[in-house]
Structure 1
């Protein structure tokens, strides 16, 4: 028995160097979730390698490197097909619909066909590696058709489980997707389909029923976690300790609010900026005493809607800084780039409040990461009720991200919260983060699929 983890991309970026190819591990929810189980559960990772023009000889080198260095199997996709599938279908059609943003979606048969072909190529590659007794763990919306393709093509005796890292919308939202039957049928051929919450599982079941698709698969809610000790370890390093001191000194005498997100419209960052603006207007006694640091990691920069979204954020930040307080005041610091892991941990630890205002979010691991970095400061988590993490972190201050007044009042409550209450809330959230880890998440998925996997896969 072996475990094959299948995702849209391998957790690697590849660059051509003077002495061959250079490999760098990437980050992200799935990578974070699986990184910490690498020392506990034996698995092979299969995914797309994109962004580099390669000849056949170079592909052979990468195949060898990926297998020997990373226990991974690369899938090479034609650049045009990759663009039509990833940008044209996954990001322009599937992503907004599964997040219930259906109004601006325009279905095109070309991009849908690219999605089908993309899944077929993955199917062929997985079948090459499949053996009797194997477990195939398919991840996320890029590969929703893959389980059915595998079941129909391979004659091997194997099991498939599918995990959706995003929300799954209500049936009436899915009805707007022309290819909904094919998508849902693809997932339903898994032996186990798991989501972050039972609401998403119910929505999937309802969509199957509405489209006359028999549900034989087992459905479950298994929210993903993180490895909290990985963050706490970084906080103990001298470099990080010094950086935390620097950040606190830089904003001495001020409460530090923090936001960390991909620049994606589902994250509700404009709503957050407007809520902070309203907070400064409504509670002027805090002007000059509170600073808001927003890390906006660039996302899908080749998509027009995302670049205009970043421009909007810059405008909103400038508006707050220009309209409130003295001319030299900077209330919002908007950093539109990714930061190194140790810098991220330092920002988490130095801040007093984390703002998560997702309009809808499958989970939001940033909220869990923040809790793991707040053992000393007992910072307050202001969390959208529409983020999946709200079911895990029950002691967070919940807000409606569409309600500007609620965000403003939530910020004021978080800043003024007594240390005793901060400590109580933090301990409750910390316990949840420590119990529902990424390892626990992986083991619960495997337990839901079959018995006896530990004997073959545990290291």
Structure 2
């Protein structure tokens, strides 16, 4: 830093000096030019006024009278010296400082005497004293020498008609012009010196205050970060105004912290012979399984979309369990995600191939956007997918609607995605395709027909109904045939697999193997397996929270360590709890939370009725509980969803009108898209989370709630009709259609002892930890990579070993 300051000061000195000297030089030239021009103008004006009188005297041939004339004409001492020369260049008379006049060269006089033209010049002359006007010009001697001075000489021809009879010469002292230039240089030097000193002092202070101190603090932060004594989120205040550097260093620190945490976790897992999957472990596993192949994920919803918010464009993450589940997978293996570009500004952020590297702040994989027309979105997504297949597969008592036109658009969109997918796989030798959900039931067969060498898996994120219910669909055979183009077909739970096999058995000509859970059709085998999807697990943050929890239970010394650990966390659960309660105006009250899309399968109305029943039957909970329902808008152009929205709003208004008192109302309805960070605040602050969907494939809200509860507290009330109920045995399981049962479950959760709450949630969190999304992705990709493609030679004999023991 000392050497840096020296170089900075030297650079400032040189730069300021050069700029100031250059500026002064041009100022001096301008000032000198102005003074010279003024002197020339005054001298010429003075000469023009004298010329007629001197010409008259010379014309009269009275040379002896010329000296007296010059004396009369030169009235003031500061006027130029005057001299008259004859046609031979001989001095006739002079007045004023005549020494320079005596030394005027014949060359200077040649032009006015011979050519009859004016002439002017600046000359330097060392004066030798003054000559007396009365002395004889031939015997005059200089009185002494003086310093060199600048003079201005001006000669005018004297005429008698057309005849030149002499020359009038004027000599003015111009040394003041030179002296003025010297004065300007002197003043500029002082200004330059003062400016340099001031700038250097200010610069050194700025370097110290705005550069040296932030850099020193940042270096200390990096050192403490390396030692694990501070949290990454504290970087902004250390780097100060160096925000770009802070962002990059923070990103680097996050990667280093995660890498260190992953290494520590892997070492501990190997030591304990555990099987917890992490993002780092998944990345290594996927690279090993894929070999020189590449992973392609296809879904209707994109993981990042660009939308216009007011006057700015923002990149947002759509609220979706699918995005939550697949984002870590794509980041781990740098694959390609192909999805519908539904954002209003999406087209402005892709390259010429419709590609975009995401996430924006730390690109880890490629997003390929596919463009659909309004008619295709309406027919494929809103029509056949969400008015047909969605209610068909959910036992929500909403009649499915099947239109021929919607079916045609469904086929068209599947074909468009197949074309894009094959184009993306053009230069890939061993592609692995992972298709998501009911929007693309026809896509597996289309891809297999175009690329038989591709390994294809599809995961059906919603329930699969029994064969009788599915037979309602007019195109059930086409849908099943499309799905059977996949090598691996995944569902959340085994009962969905059983329903699918039974549906195929009753509908198509195929050989169904109930022992191996596979289907052979047209010489191609499809494996049907359950893969319970889950959420990501932040092992590093969980360990910190667990250390805090255990430390608070093990004496004063450990309690102090726990308090220090809490201070290093980005937000403690206690602080989040109090902040959110204060924002909602419900301090001192129990918070119940529901987080869903505005969908008729989520049981939102039934949940509200359960809260109403609780307050009716147990009035002592009045003014003691608040139920916050986050209901993100969904499929807002589908009639059944429009009707549901109106019903929910009417129910909330009726319940609040029935029970509300001054400063309290029982239900808060939040109808907007909330970020994952916002939702996590509600998870952490809630006493109870209600997941009472009428029918669900899995429902990741229940698992997100458990993953967020690093404090080891809280109660989960879970629908028996959600796939998660088969894994989360310690939740309070309810029939969502039984309003009384749900209300009693809420009462049980509110009155449950802290010990039982912690025991239940700890067991469920352990289940989520061991069966997280990384394990889910590893299981699916392992099975699809293990598929033997006809004619392919396996390079790795151990490639097909399953990574997870049963």
Name the TM-score, length of structure 1 as normaliser.
0.91
Residues 383-398 of structure 1 aligned to structure 2 (within 5 Å): 383-398=718-733
1:13 corresponds to? 305
1:441 corresponds to? 776
Q: Given the alignment of the two structures, is residue 229 of structure 1 paired with residue 538 of structure 2, yes or no?
A: yes
Instruction: Tell me how far 1:253 sits from its aligned partner.
Output: 2.5
Tell me if the contact between 2:414 and 2:442 (Cα under 8 Å) persists in the aligned partners: yes
1:157 corresponds to? 453
Whole-Å Cα distance in 2 between the matches of residues 412 and 58 of structure 1? 50
Whole-Å Cα distance in 1 between the matches of residues 301 and 331 of structure 2? 21
Indicate the SS of the match to 1:227. Answer: coil
Tell me if the contact between 2:330 and 2:336 (Cα under 8 Å) persists in the aligned partners: no
Which of 38, 43, 47 matches 2:339? 47
Instruction: Tell me how far 1:82 sits from its aligned partner.
Output: 2.0
1:187 corresponds to? 483
Whole-Å Cα distance in 1 between the matches of residues 355 and 781 of structure 2? 29
Whole-Å Cα distance in 2 between the matches of residues 293 and 454 of structure 1? 51
- My pick for the range that moved more, 242-251 or 331-340, is 242-251
2:695 corresponds to? 360
Instruction: Tell me how far 1:267 sits from its aligned partner.
Output: 0.1
- My pick for the range that moved more, 140-149 or 329-338, is 329-338
- My pick for the range that moved more, 95-104 or 274-283, is 95-104
Q: Given the alignment of the two structures, is residue 139 of structure 1 paired with residue 436 of structure 2, yes or no?
A: yes
Instruction: Tell me how far 1:269 sits from its aligned partner.
Output: 0.3
Task: Summarize the Cα distance change of 1:441–1:60 in structure 2 as closer, same or farther, 3 Å threshold.
Answer: same
Which of 10, 25, 29 matches 2:321? 29
Task: Summarize the Cα distance change of 1:256–1:24 in structure 2 as closer, same or farther, 3 Å threshold.
Answer: closer
Whole-Å Cα distance in 2 between the matches of residues 22 and 358 of structure 1? 32
Task: Summarize the Cα distance change of 1:273–1:453 in structure 2 as closer, same or farther, 3 Å threshold.
Answer: farther
Residues 105-144 of structure 1 aligned to structure 2 (within 5 Å): 105-130=400-425, 131-144=428-441
2:374 corresponds to? 79
Task: Summarize the Cα distance change of 1:19–1:273 in structure 2 as closer, same or farther, 3 Å threshold.
Answer: closer
Tell me if the contact between 1:231 and 1:369 (Cα under 8 Å) persists in the aligned partners: no
Whole-Å Cα distance in 1 between the matches of residues 492 and 641 of structure 2? 26
Q: Given the alignment of the two structures, is residue 246 of structure 1 paired with residue 572 of structure 2, yes or no?
A: no
Task: Summarize the Cα distance change of 1:378–1:157 in structure 2 as closer, same or farther, 3 Å threshold.
Answer: same
Task: Summarize the Cα distance change of 1:313–1:434 in structure 2 as closer, same or farther, 3 Å threshold.
Answer: same
Which of 528, 534, 538 matches 1:219? 528
RMSD across aligned positions (CA) = 2.9
Tell me if the contact between 2:437 and 2:460 (Cα under 8 Å) persists in the aligned partners: yes
Which of 750, 760, 765 matches 1:425? 760
Q: Deviations over 1:115-164 (max 9, x none)?
A: 0010001111111122332111111000010001111223x512101101
Whole-Å Cα distance in 2 between the matches of residues 99 and 321 of structure 1? 30
- My pick for the range that moved more, 355-364 or 225-234, is 225-234
Indicate the SS of the match to 2:421. Answer: helix
Tell me if the contact between 1:243 and 1:343 (Cα under 8 Å) persists in the aligned partners: no
Indicate the SS of the match to 1:359. Answer: coil
Instruction: Tell me how far 1:325 sits from its aligned partner.
Output: 5.7
Tell me if the contact between 2:631 and 2:671 (Cα under 8 Å) persists in the aligned partners: yes
Instruction: Tell me how far 1:191 sits from its aligned partner.
Output: 0.6
Q: Given the alignment of the two structures, is residue 307 of structure 1 paired with residue 642 of structure 2, yes or no?
A: yes
Which of 710, 731, 753 matches 1:375? 710
Instruction: Tell me how far 1:251 sits from its aligned partner.
Output: 2.3
Unaligned residue ranges in structure 1 (runs of 5+): none
Tell me if the contact between 1:232 and 1:373 (Cα under 8 Å) persists in the aligned partners: no
1:65 corresponds to? 356
Tell me if the contact between 1:100 and 1:173 (Cα under 8 Å) persists in the aligned partners: no
Tell me if the contact between 2:305 and 2:346 (Cα under 8 Å) persists in the aligned partners: no
Task: Summarize the Cα distance change of 1:62–1:252 in structure 2 as closer, same or farther, 3 Å threshold.
Answer: farther
Q: Given the alignment of the two structures, is residue 168 of structure 1 paired with residue 464 of structure 2, yes or no?
A: yes
Whole-Å Cα distance in 1 between the matches of residues 681 and 757 of structure 2? 19
Instruction: Tell me how far 1:60 sits from its aligned partner.
Output: 4.8
Task: Summarize the Cα distance change of 1:18–1:356 in structure 2 as closer, same or farther, 3 Å threshold.
Answer: closer
Whole-Å Cα distance in 1 between the matches of residues 673 and 385 of structure 2? 23
Instruction: Tell me how far 1:34 sits from its aligned partner.
Output: 1.6
Higher gyration radius (CA): 2
Task: Summarize the Cα distance change of 1:174–1:231 in structure 2 as closer, same or farther, 3 Å threshold.
Answer: farther
Instruction: Tell me how far 1:102 sits from its aligned partner.
Output: 6.3
Q: Deviations over 1:334-373 (max 9, x none)?
A: 1111223222111111110011110001111111111112
Instruction: Tell me how far 1:2 sits from its aligned partner.
Output: 0.7
Tell me if the contact between 1:240 and 1:342 (Cα under 8 Å) persists in the aligned partners: no
Q: Deviations over 1:413-442 (max 9, x none)?
A: 111111111111011101011111111110
Tell me if the contact between 2:303 and 2:327 (Cα under 8 Å) persists in the aligned partners: no
Q: Given the alignment of the two structures, is residue 415 of structure 1 paired with residue 750 of structure 2, yes or no?
A: yes
Task: Summarize the Cα distance change of 1:242–1:327 in structure 2 as closer, same or farther, 3 Å threshold.
Answer: closer
1:265 corresponds to? 600
Q: Deviations over 1:307-355 (max 9, x none)?
A: 2211211111122112236465300111111223222111111110011
Instruction: Tell me how far 1:247 sits from its aligned partner.
Output: 2.3
Whole-Å Cα distance in 2 between the matches of residues 157 and 89 of structure 1? 30
- My pick for the range that moved more, 43-52 or 246-255, is 246-255
Q: Given the alignment of the two structures, is residue 90 of structure 1 paired with residue 362 of structure 2, yes or no?
A: no
Unaligned residue ranges in structure 2 (runs of 5+): 1-292, 511-518, 521-525, 546-568, 787-795
Indicate the SS of the match to 2:356. Answer: helix
Tell me if the contact between 1:356 and 1:367 (Cα under 8 Å) persists in the aligned partners: yes
Task: Summarize the Cα distance change of 1:16–1:349 in structure 2 as closer, same or farther, 3 Å threshold.
Answer: closer
Task: Summarize the Cα distance change of 1:454–1:35 in structure 2 as closer, same or farther, 3 Å threshold.
Answer: farther
Whole-Å Cα distance in 2 between the matches of residues 374 and 88 of structure 1? 38
Indicate the SS of the match to 1:414. Answer: helix
Instruction: Tell me how far 1:246 sits from its aligned partner.
Output: 1.6
